[in-house]
């Protein structure tokens, strides 16, 4: 069994799909590991560290892939980029399939068995494989760090002989994994923190971190969570009421961080141009949903927009801005999942389609798109 790790080619992607620690684990499975030269540079992992862990460093992507039975990636590779890997090779990573169905079909047609880590079920067994949580956690942290740099003022209250500096007021919109980490980070930096979310369970979580919860708590709010723990898309009526409530609140904030993402859909608009203009000059907004269209009117991907003195930060791949930490967690997520696909005694791949983890994450198998979210009449063999 050969496992290949390629150097990521997407712009602004510094993460890598394996670390020396996970390489050692793979070798323990009986696998040979081939890593493309420089794959870990963005995460400050030199080739020498991989080599010391037992991996082979290959000079090119083609050499890395030759005969590979498993390809681990951060972003979805193209079928062309995987040329040389063994037929039926497992390709595991963040596939971002919604809106990219043609690419998934191309991977199926090329004979690859593709697994999308974003679809990992939220069950106890899979917690260590949850890439959405591991990366969102770091994105929430980094959002506050980026905001603190752009804010140009101190976050905590400071009492000095020359006077008192008031603490910054930070408002987090969305109290999922990213939002809760943003709340905790802003609180540690000394800000006065408030937050909102459409899920009732979030109120207790926000308050446990020392934040004030802000929401329209009507009947729709009480039923605004899916069985999987995700936020449901709210009605237009609720969104209008919530917008009215938070508009006044936002006007008093120094920092706002938005985290609202609905899988497979455009991000909901939470902050309008009017709301942005209600904030004082020098205020900062961080939009963590910009890659799905953004929560903030005026946000632009990978830019800091200055709108009438208010900075709107729209960095995509926020977790990738702390690549070393992000890669460490992401690689562990991948390794833990791959371990469930290996027969350790025979030291071979043993994928069980009936396994709930496989059923939830596998997009393609035997030349066809098989995931129920994508396999319809047109999801048969291409």
The sign one gets for the Cα dihedral 79, 82, 85, 90 is negative
Question: One of 96, 230, 239, 324 is an active-site residue; which one?
Answer: 230
The answer to whether 2 and 63 have CB atoms below 8 angstroms apart is: no
Residue with tokens 């037929």: 87
First to last CA, the chain: 28
Q: Phi, psi at residue 70, to the nearest 5°?
A: -140, 135
Our answer to whether residue 122 is catalytic in this structure is yes
Question: One of 130, 197, 254, 287 is an active-site residue; which one?
Answer: 130
Question: One of 125, 127, 223, 343 is an active-site residue; which one?
Answer: 127
Q: Which helix (H) or strand (E) holds 169?
A: strand 169-173
Our answer to whether residue 7 is catalytic in this structure is no
Instruction: Classify residue 300 as exposed, middle or buried by CB count within 10 Å of its CB (0-12, 13-18, 19+).
Output: middle
Q: How far is CA 152 from the centre of its chain?
A: 27
**3-class SS of residue 97:** coil
Q: How far is CA 378 from the centre of its chain?
A: 29
Q: How far is CA 334 from the centre of its chain?
A: 14
Our answer to whether residue 230 is catalytic in this structure is yes
Question: One of 43, 94, 116, 133 is an active-site residue; which one?
Answer: 133
Question: One of 75, 122, 188, 269 is an active-site residue; which one?
Answer: 122
- Catalytic residue positions, numbered: 122, 127, 130, 133, 230
């Amino acid at each position: 069994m050969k496992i290949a790790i390629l150097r990521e080619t997407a712009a602004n992607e510094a993460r890598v799909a394996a670390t020396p620690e996970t390489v050692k684990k793979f070798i323990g499975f009986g696998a040979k590991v081939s890593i493309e030269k420089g794959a870990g540079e963005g995460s400050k992992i030199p080739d020498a560290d991989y080599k010391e862990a037992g991996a082979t460093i290959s000079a090119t992507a083609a050499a890395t892939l030759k005969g590979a039975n498993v390809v681990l990636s951060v972003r979805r590779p193209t079928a062309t980029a995987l040329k040389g890997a063994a037929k039926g090779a497992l390709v595991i990573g963040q596939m971002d399939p919604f809106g990219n169905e043609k690419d998934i079909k191309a991977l199926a047609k090329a004979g690859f068995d593709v697994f999308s880590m974003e679809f990992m079920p939220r069950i106890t067994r899979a917690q260590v494989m949850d890439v959405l949580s591991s990366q969102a956690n770091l994105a929430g942290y980094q959002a506050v760090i980026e905001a603190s740099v752009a804010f140009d003022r101190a976050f905590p209250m400071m009492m000095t002989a020359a006077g008192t500096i008031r603490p910054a007021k930070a408002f987090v919109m969305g109290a999922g994994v990213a939002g809760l980490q943003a709340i905790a980070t802003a609180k540690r930096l000394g800000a006065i923190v408030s937050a909102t979310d459409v899920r009732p369970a979030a109120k207790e979580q926000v308050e446990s971190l020392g934040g004030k919860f802000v929401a329209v708590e009507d009947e729709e709010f009480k039923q605004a969570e899916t069985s999987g723990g995700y936020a449901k898309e709210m009605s237009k009526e609720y969104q209008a009421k919530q917008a009215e409530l938070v508009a006044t609140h936002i006007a008093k904030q120094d920092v706002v961080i938005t985290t609202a993402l609905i899988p497979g859909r455009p991000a909901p608009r939470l902050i309008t141009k009017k709301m942005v203009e209600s904030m004082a000059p020098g205020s900062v907004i961080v939009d963590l949903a910009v890659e799905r269209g953004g929560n903030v009117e005026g946000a632009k991907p990978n830019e800091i927009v200055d709108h009438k003195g208010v900075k709107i930060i729209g960095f995509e791949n926020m977790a990738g801005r702390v690549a070393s930490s992000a890669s460490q967690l992401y690689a562990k997520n991948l390794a833990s999942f791959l371990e469930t696909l290996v027969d350790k005694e025979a030291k071979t791949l043993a994928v069980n389609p009936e396994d709930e983890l496989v059923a939830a994450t596998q997009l393609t198998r035997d030349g066809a798109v098989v995931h129920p979210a994508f396999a319809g009449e047109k999801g048969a063999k291409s």
